[in-house]
Amino acid sequence: MMRKTITALALCLATIAGASAQSSANALAKAQQAVAEAKTATAADSRQCIFEIKAYNDTDGRLVVGGFTSDSTARNAAVRLLATTGVDYADSMKVLPYDQMALTTLSVASHRTAPKHSAEMATQSLMGTPLRILQKSKEWWRVATPDGYIAYVPASSVSEKTPEEMAAWRNGCRFIVNRPGETKAYRKADSTSPRETVTDLVGGCIVTAVGGAPNIKNGRLHIELPDGRTCYADASAFTPLEEWASQAFDAAKILDTAYGMEGLPYLWGGTSPKAIDCSGLSKTAYFANGLIIMRDASQQALTGERIDASKWRTCQAGDLLFFGNANTKKVTHVGIYDHGGMYVHSSGRVKRNSLDPDSSDYLPTPFLHAVRIQGSEETAGITRVRNHPWYF
């Protein structure tokens, strides 16, 4: 009788343990599904949002949802969806900081897909570009650019700023390089020797006037770089940042900037007047007109007012043209429309081609659609610099 009782008890305990294990597995599966749905809804594009949140059972069998994201919206979505599952879990989800900022200190800094120089270059930032610091290590910082693009930049290419320092920078007497080509900055106002060079500057670099007011000597403006170095550069190369940021939409300015880089070599990830890729060309040309657009062609293609490929003859100067796979409609290339079917783009080098099949400049790359930026300012993916809180 005793033996039967013990056997029955053992079977009962085994049944309870099995049910508990099954319940634990179900809870984990529900949590994992909720996290996956949150990622799909709010962080599908890893170029714009870090979402490294996972659901798992710890060594004590406790259900934990932990990790980090760069966007509080993504965390909130995860919390909301987890609540609908009814499962109990330990919350260790973190949002990366919003208030840690830096300024690019090189004329052109390269950002990479992984924290190593051998990694693919993802994008670039120009001197004076404000960056959100997401994660820091000794040699590499994970940052977001003003358009939200996330990648790794060498710590030596940027200068971290406190909130007070960023406020002072935003309220300071700032100038932007507003001419094509390279501008040299020297240690002294009358320096001409290459050995007196402090840095090069390219169009789009932002600096501050030493002393808080313009001081021009020998035709050169006395400037302070984001890392505190001071030097002199040709005053005619600069425009006050507020004046520049207040310009109206100007297709001619956009196209002049692009044509000014004609012959420049193609560089994957390049977004500067030194070497440039296709979407970098459109991004750089639009920035010259005071507009921040998305980084990659596939992102730019989803903004503005869409124009069907069959209606290319209705395109206007400054419209963006998108090319790619005719079957899947995947965008792989972008150019800037001029007139009469002609456009400028970076493919091998910055050059001109035509949408018109009857033109000798026609390229057979499938044309998918166009986008009109003009009239869509301050819609998703298109921001005027003067309205971006990191700048003003």
- Longest alpha-carbon distance in the chain: 109
The angle subtended at Cα 200 by Cα 195 and Cα 204, nearest 5°, is 165
Residues 6+ apart with CB under 8 A from 267: 121, 274, 275, 276, 277, 280
- The dihedral over CA atoms of 275, 280, 284, 287, expressed in degrees to the nearest 10, equals -160
Run of H or E residues at 83 = helix 72-85
pLDDT digits (tens, 9 = 90+) for 254-283: 999 999 999 999 999 999 999 999 999 999
Cβ distance 160 to 152 under 8 Å? no
pLDDT digits (tens, 9 = 90+) for 293-308: 999 999 999 999 999 9
- Determine the Cα–Cα distance for residues 50 and 283; give it in Å rounded to an integer: 23
pLDDT digits (tens, 9 = 90+) for 215-255: 999 999 999 999 999 999 999 999 999 999 999 999 999 99
pLDDT, averaged across the chain? 95
pTM over 0.85: yes
pLDDT digits (tens, 9 = 90+) for 30-67: 999 999 999 999 999 999 999 999 999 999 999 999 99
